[in-house]
Amino acid sequence: MIMAKRERLTTAKKTASREDKLRRLGNNYREYTGAEVSVQHAYLKFKINQEERGNSPQTLAFYDRFYKKFVSFINESLNDTPENCPIDIMTQDGFQLFFMKSLGDVSQQTVNSYLRGYRAFGNFCEEIGLLDGFKCPIKEVEPPMKQVYTDKELKKLLIKPDIRDFTDFRDFAIINLLLSTGARTNTLLNIQLKDVDLENGYIIFNTTKAHKVVSVGLEKKCKDTLTEYISYWRSGGDIEPTDYLFCNIYGEQLTRGGLSTTIAHYNKHRGVEKTSIHLFRHTFAKNWITSGGDIISLAKVLTHSDLDMVKHYSNLYGGDVKAEIEEHSTLSKLRTSSGQTIATKRNNT
């Protein structure tokens, strides 16, 4: 049993003494072993490291969700606390499996999500010398195919509203931009007016998951819509170039919750039950692939740092390229020579 194998940190005096040493020590852990550092203290250092790396609030929240589940596991399955439990428990035989089983009856995707947080935490602890030989294999599974927005639904969403209605026209412009670029929610919310180059037909994404600045071309319909929106609602008066492109009725930056609420209302008001903002990204990727776009360019537009995700999109929607196969395959272009037809008879038995 794991509980029998590890050395417990038993006294409050010893714990306090260890934590005081670590506070004075800062980031220099090399004189300490994983048996001398608590899970709680290691996680605090991990969080600080993630913040210093400039990770997004969403990524930090993801790690906090993992840690909350990890703490529950320590409390309920190990009958211990993160303040007292030593971090080296993560290298004990069977510990990862024990943690996975504690998650209960959940999908493999959910298990993998928690394991990614577990792996990132464990790898950090190994990097700073608190763990030795940490491994976290993850059994990758293909997520189910998402039902993207259909052409019929998109036609409903792209009926141009009255420009005098601010929220409707703003939401119309947002959906145009999502379908034109496949932008993530956080990227969209942080676009400033100075990032939009209508003259040359480009938009700059300064806030991306890969922490890269990306210039993306605007499709003509999207460019025309943004031109109307900016001219009517986001120019003149006291509006500054650093103001956000998509704001609320008070001129303030839209929040994630505010964006989700307004798009859900916009969609349902037009008879479209799907309300996911991220689904516009999947719709963009699917249409790119099924129309013959290459995955290298798609990865650049979607600001992916590698090709893994766009390969996933390609695998998901590969079944939708039947027409392209019919048109472009080598076999379809070759004329078959006529020859003797061999007739077969079915025996009636």
Q: Is there a domain that residue 336 lies in? A: no
Q: Is there a domain that residue 267 lies in? A: yes
| Residue 182, SS3 per DSSP | coil
Q: What pLDDT digit, counting tens, does each position of 248-267 carry?
A: 999 999 999 999 999 999 99
Q: Which of 187, 175, 237 is nearest to 58 (CA)?
A: 187
Boundaries of domain holding 14: 7-127
Are 166 and 285 members of one domain? Answer: yes
Q: What pLDDT digit, counting tens, does each position of 118-169 carry?
A: 999 999 999 999 999 999 998 877 666 678 999 999 999 999 999 999 999 9
User: Does residue 343 surpass a pLDDT of 90?
Assistant: no
Q: Is there a domain that residue 136 lies in? A: no
Are 170 and 239 members of one domain? Answer: yes
- Cβ atoms of residues 246 and 193 within 8 Å: no
Q: Is there a domain that residue 303 lies in? A: yes
| Residue 240, SS3 per DSSP | coil
- The secondary structure of 291-330, three-state, reads CCCCHHHHHHHCCCCCCHHHHHHHHHHHHHHHHHHHHHCH
**Exposed e or buried b per residue across 90-106, where buried means at least 16 C-beta atoms within 10 angstroms of its C-beta:** bbeeebbebbbebbeee
Q: What pLDDT digit, counting tens, does each position of 272-303 carry?
A: 999 999 999 989 888 877 777 666 777 777 76
pLDDT at 84: 95
pLDDT at 304: 60
Q: Is there a domain that residue 137 lies in? A: no
Q: Which of 94, 84, 77, 81 is nearest to 135 (CA)?
A: 94
Q: What pLDDT digit, counting tens, does each position of 105-121 carry?
A: 999 889 999 999 999 99
- Kindly tell me the sign of the dihedral angle through the C-alpha atoms of 162, 165, 170, 172: negative
Q: What pLDDT digit, counting tens, does each position of 186-241 carry?
A: 999 999 999 999 999 999 999 887 778 888 889 999 999 999 999 999 998 889 99
The tally of domains found in the chain comes to 2
Are 172 and 209 members of one domain? Answer: yes
Are 83 and 197 members of one domain? Answer: no
The Cα 160–Cα 259 span in angstroms is 19
Q: What pLDDT digit, counting tens, does each position of 23-73 carry?
A: 554 555 556 677 889 999 999 999 999 999 988 888 999 999 999 999 999
pLDDT at 251: 94
Beta partners for 253?
247
pLDDT at 234: 96
